Amino acid sequence: MTAIALDAMGGDDAPRVTVEGALEAAAAGVEVVLVGDSEVLGHELNRLRGGAGGKGGGANLRIVHAPDQVAMGDHAAREVRRQRQTSLYVGMELVKNGEAGALVSMGNTGAAMATALVVLGRLKGVERPALGAVIPAGDGQVLFLDVGANADARTSHLVQFAHLGSAYMQSVYGVTQPRVALLSIGEEPSKGSTLVTETHEALVQETRLRFVGNIEGRDLLTQQADVIVTDGFTGNVALKIAEGLVSYLFDQLRATAKSSLRNKAGGLLLLPSLRGVRERLDYRAHGAVPLLGVDGGVFIGHGRSDGHAVASGLLAAQRAVDRGMLAALAASIAEGLPK
């Protein structure tokens, strides 16, 4: 089994939650390399193992020392140039050298992307990497990209995102001929910005893709497509609105259920089903999203992640590595390059 590196110093509540997540993932069979200050991480491991009665995962855990870290508010490009002993940089080097199959980070997203480009570089032929979020839809899931790597994008970028997303869903989730859709303000080819209408025309010409046309924001979770493509600004806003709406709806349901005895009784009956729905919609179930298009496995999660989200991110990275994600992405892009 290939090890998965974890930026153990990245995130709002690191290293406590990152070590908690590493222990949970290690107990589930993932070989985890904790990257960060060895003294701090050793202390945290001993504390958690002692406090949990010898919590498992010891055989699947090791520490690689990295004395520095990138803070959540640090300037991404500047820190990459100045510091090469950060947990992010050292973790990326483990991936580059083949000592880890992927890196998972809950830290500074901009720094993670900048470090990946500096250390790993892009896959041959990729113009821009993209962040892809796996979101629940119907009885399955949809890959939504880009969700933040590129605030501005060109038509050629979105076409590549479609190929990367299609290859990811096929290799990691086993979807045969993934359906690709373009996010727009209407289903008609003429609807949308200049970028959207030009991209629609270009995707129609892509015979290697199963393009099913435009999709509106209200259909993100309806499983009308397996891959939904947009620019990073639009995707990030849409994803955060969806996450906020889910939290709001469940808070309102909880408040309503407590408002009267009758509602409490009904709430108790619905509670098991509602818990299942909430778990499915909770971002912690996936933990981290892949940075597609760089020459190595990189997964980036929320800075506010808890231990379970960290563990989910490690498991997602392990699944992608085991199923040959990187080779599939490289082959998909290479197929479209001039011979």
Same domain, 77 and 88: yes
Whole-model pTM over 0.75: yes
Q: Are residues 279 and 144 both part of a single domain?
A: yes
Q: Is residue 335 part of a domain?
A: no
- Strands across the sheet containing 297-300: 61-65, 32-36, 4-7, 102-105, 297-300, 289-292, 130-137, 140-145, 227-229, 179-183, 210-215
- 95 and 181 share one domain: no
In this structure, are 137 and 262 located in the same domain?
yes
Q: Are residues 14 and 118 in the same domain?
A: yes
Domain count, the chain: 2
CATH code for position 25: 3.40.718.10
Contacts of 240 (CB under 8 A, 6+ apart): none
Q: Both 120 and 138 in a single domain?
A: no
pLDDT, residue 255, reads: 75
* Helices and strands, counts by H and E, the chain: 11, 11
Are 134 and 276 within one domain? yes
The Cβ of residue 247 has, within 10 Å, a number of other Cβ atoms equal to 14
What pLDDT was estimated at residue 272?
A: 63
Please report the pLDDT score of residue 261 as a whole number.
72
Neighbours of 117 (CB within 10 A): 20
> In angstroms, how far apart are the furthest CA atoms of the chain?
71
Domain extent for 131? 127-285
Per-residue model confidence (pLDDT) at position 52: 45
* pLDDT tens for the chain, residues 1 to 339: 689 999 999 988 889 999 999 999 999 999 999 999 999 999 999 888 775 444 444 668 999 999 887 765 555 555 565 678 899 999 999 999 999 999 999 988 888 998 999 999 999 999 999 999 998 887 788 999 999 888 899 999 999 999 999 999 999 999 999 999 999 999 898 888 999 999 999 999 999 999 999 999 988 888 899 999 999 999 999 988 887 877 777 777 777 767 777 766 666 666 665 555 555 556 666 788 999 999 999 999 988 888 999 999 999 999 999 999 999 999 998 887 655
Write down the pLDDT at residue 137: 81
Looking at the structure, tell me whether residues 140 and 262 fall in a common domain: yes
Give the amino acid at 159. V
Residues 97 and 233 reside in one and the same domain: no
In this prediction, residue 270 carries a pLDDT of 63
Residue indicated by tokens 């300037």: 75
